[in-house]
Amino acid sequence: MDRTTVCPLAQAYRLLNPGCVLLVSVGDAEADNLFALTWNMPVRRDPPMVAILSGKGHYSYPFMQRTGEFALNVPDAGLVDAVLGCGSTTGRDGLDKFARFGLSRAKATRIAAPLVAEAVASLECCVAQVVDLGSSALLVAQIVHAVAAADHFRDGQWRFDRGLRLLHHLGGERFCVSDRAIDARPP
């Protein structure tokens, strides 16, 4: 998949607007991990910012605390088994989720964490603020670099004419798929 297209930062929030489930990658020079993330949203357009929720007891949480970085990877629906797999296993016991679920590491531009090469977009993020919510934390982060598949994201919009199927989490093992756009009639 052509993922060489850099997404202008002013358009990066559009990659997250439809509320998809994401694969989050974290890591440093020594180790990395992946987890599935349903609870995410943009919070600013310029500079582009995002908020994600993470359990503090999560294996990936100390990576984000230590490095201040993570990447958000947008999966096509073809990756649904990998998404559930990454969301229902832990990297704590040395499991390499990339290898286990058939995913490949791609080098990021601005952060140390690897990107998911099979994703239709990847956003590199630097944590700006941590909001304590008890057993979990809301991480507010700036998007510092983004790439997207040129086939599926053009002129700042997701496009469905070449087979894109965005994936949303319903609950448990069940997801829903959006694969067509509609235009509202302006008031």
Rule CB under 8 A: which residues touch a copy of itself? 14, 17-20, 38-44, 49, 51, 53, 77, 80-81, 83-85, 88-89, 100-101, 129, 131, 133-134, 136, 138, 140, 156-158, 160, 166, 168-187
Q: Which is nearer to a copy of itself, 2 or 81 (CB)?
A: 81
Q: Which is nearer to a copy of itself, 80 or 108 (CB)?
A: 80
The label of the residue with tokens 């949480």 reads 61
C-beta separation of 67 from 26 below 8 A: yes
Q: Which is nearer to a copy of itself, 112 or 156 (CB)?
A: 156
* 158-164, long-range: CB < 8 A, 24+ apart: 158/14, 158/15, 158/18, 164/76, 164/120
Least separation in angstroms between residue 20's CB and a copy of itself is: 6
Least separation in angstroms between residue 107's CB and a copy of itself is: 26
Kindly state the DSSP code that residue 76 receives in the 8-state scheme. Answer: B
**Distance, CA of 116 to CA of 162 (rounded, Å):** 21
**Distance, CA of 158 to CA of 65 (rounded, Å):** 31
Q: Which is nearer to a copy of itself, 53 or 112 (CB)?
A: 53
**Distance, CA of 134 to CA of 24 (rounded, Å):** 21
C-beta separation of 105 from 119 below 8 A: no
Kindly state the DSSP code that residue 9 receives in the 8-state scheme. Answer: G
Q: Which is nearer to a copy of itself, 108 or 167 (CB)?
A: 167
Least separation in angstroms between residue 166's CB and a copy of itself is: 7
Least separation in angstroms between residue 12's CB and a copy of itself is: 11
Least separation in angstroms between residue 112's CB and a copy of itself is: 26
